[in-house]
Structure 1
């Protein structure tokens, strides 16, 4: 069953759908949207159980891709280009594999079409340990989360999911944390497909990130035979936030053929 995704549309031109990563929201790719909206109609989406989109009892790539295709139907988009980061990259790949005729060009930021070992255990533990209703301020939440997540930038990113609970002094999670936790293995898994997507694909890798590795090349070639790889120097997994001008320029160049 598909859900109606929260979205933000900016700019004009050929449609480009932006898909954020795990624990994120449509705001995460805002810097890229701002830099491309002069030439493209940007459709930034909150994925299910994230941001302001509905909460559901399940999460897997076929159902999340179906959400995106349903959104395209609602907006009258027969075809669009897709840009996805991390989990959003897997959703974008799934859309292209599931409905190749609906995808013009595909950009995948720092993720490969493979199954990954769990790498968010500390984050899951930290978020689960926080009781948002008992938190008095974001500073208090940050101190509590620091016991589990060392990097301030990652804590800042995660705590964007805290919002004031109406009629209360406490907070609430925008994330559907229990379902994300229960479905984590689905999110670590590879996209599902019997075929391939033969359209043009650009993989962007953060130079310092280990998410895309040489050993992934055969699976990328099998599923996306018309794929190219560009490395963004001096960046890690958050390449779009670390070097937005460079990433946006690479995206523009690729989208313009």
Structure 2
């Protein structure tokens, strides 16, 4: 059975796009209206338990996402392609890279979770692990990672969307996967061209973290700060975000 996905564009530059822990293929803000459909082909994947694939059963882990990415690429007839991953999707993209490095042309991480385990103190652990069942926790996380700068309406809408389009058990299982998985030894030294985009107001996944992880492990990694954004540049600075990803994918 074909894997459901959102397709934008029919151009020669091809990328599979992986969403964050809260998001879906539909929740990229106005970026979906700004992508160039003549030069690029984008395939946005929903994870099992999310969005258009909410009812697709699975293990709900990053290895399974990688399986689905490669199967989708095969179905599209894409022998090689680039990957774009936001937050958790950035770590999932690295799992794809580990699995099939020869197929990946370029890699973009957007405020991406690094390849190693993600450390949490007790308060953060309680906040994140309580978010599967509690919408207030999701609101608090969204407010935190955007630097306490977003409007209440935006936070409420994002949290409600997240609750509506993801299974609680999938949400919880993906957290356990991206929090604990250690891919750092497997990616260290990989020569794929990498761009890491970092919203300046993200308190947890900022430039210094990216220098100590992504840039330390990938010899051809460039970090680009995005002024005016926190953890959600596609929503906060959509035009600048789109320009940055397409310039890099263009090569």
- Tell me how far apart the structure 2 counterparts of residues 94 and 178 of structure 1 sit (CA, whole Å): 21
Unaligned 5+ segments in structure 2 are 144-151
* Residue in 2 that maps onto 1:15: 14
Q: Which moved more, 1:211-220 or 1:234-243?
A: 211-220
Per-residue CA distance 1:172-217 (angstroms, 9 max, x = gap): x431212332452212235525344312110000111131342553
- Tell me how far apart the structure 2 counterparts of residues 200 and 155 of structure 1 sit (CA, whole Å): 36
Q: 2:246 aligns with which of 212, 237, 252?
A: 252
Q: Judging changes above 3 Å, is the alpha-carbon distance between structure 1 residues 42 and 88 closer, same or farther for their aligned structure 2 residues?
A: same
* Residue in 2 that maps onto 1:65: 66
Q: Which moved more, 1:181-190 or 1:95-104?
A: 181-190
Per-residue CA distance 1:50-81 (angstroms, 9 max, x = gap): 11214434222222111101110111110111
Q: How does 1:161-176 map to 2 (within 5 A)?
A: 161=162, 173-176=164-167
- Tell me how far apart the structure 2 counterparts of residues 147 and 238 of structure 1 sit (CA, whole Å): 17
- Tell me how far apart the structure 1 counterparts of residues 103 and 137 of structure 2 sit (CA, whole Å): 45
SS of structure 1 residue aligned to 2:51: coil
Q: Assess if the C-alpha contact under 8 Å between 1:108 and 1:204 holds in 2.
A: yes
TM-score (norm 2): 0.80
- Tell me how far apart the structure 2 counterparts of residues 43 and 241 of structure 1 sit (CA, whole Å): 19
- Tell me how far apart the structure 1 counterparts of residues 137 and 161 of structure 2 sit (CA, whole Å): 18
* Residue in 1 that maps onto 2:148: none
Q: Assess if the C-alpha contact under 8 Å between 2:132 and 2:171 holds in 1.
A: no
Q: How does 1:224-235 map to 2 (within 5 A)?
A: 224-235=218-229
Q: Assess if the C-alpha contact under 8 Å between 1:90 and 1:190 holds in 2.
A: no
Q: Assess if the C-alpha contact under 8 Å between 1:50 and 1:175 holds in 2.
A: yes
The higher radius of gyration belongs to 1
TM-score (norm 1): 0.79
Question: CA RMSD of the aligned region, Å?
Answer: 2.5
Deviation at 1:47, TM superposition (A): 1.3
Q: Which moved more, 1:81-90 or 1:34-43?
A: 34-43
Q: Assess if the C-alpha contact under 8 Å between 1:114 and 1:216 holds in 2.
A: no
Unaligned 5+ segments in structure 1 are 130-144, 163-172
- Tell me how far apart the structure 1 counterparts of residues 182 and 40 of structure 2 sit (CA, whole Å): 27
Q: Judging changes above 3 Å, is the alpha-carbon distance between structure 1 residues 121 and 7 closer, same or farther for their aligned structure 2 residues?
A: farther
SS of structure 2 residue aligned to 1:114: coil
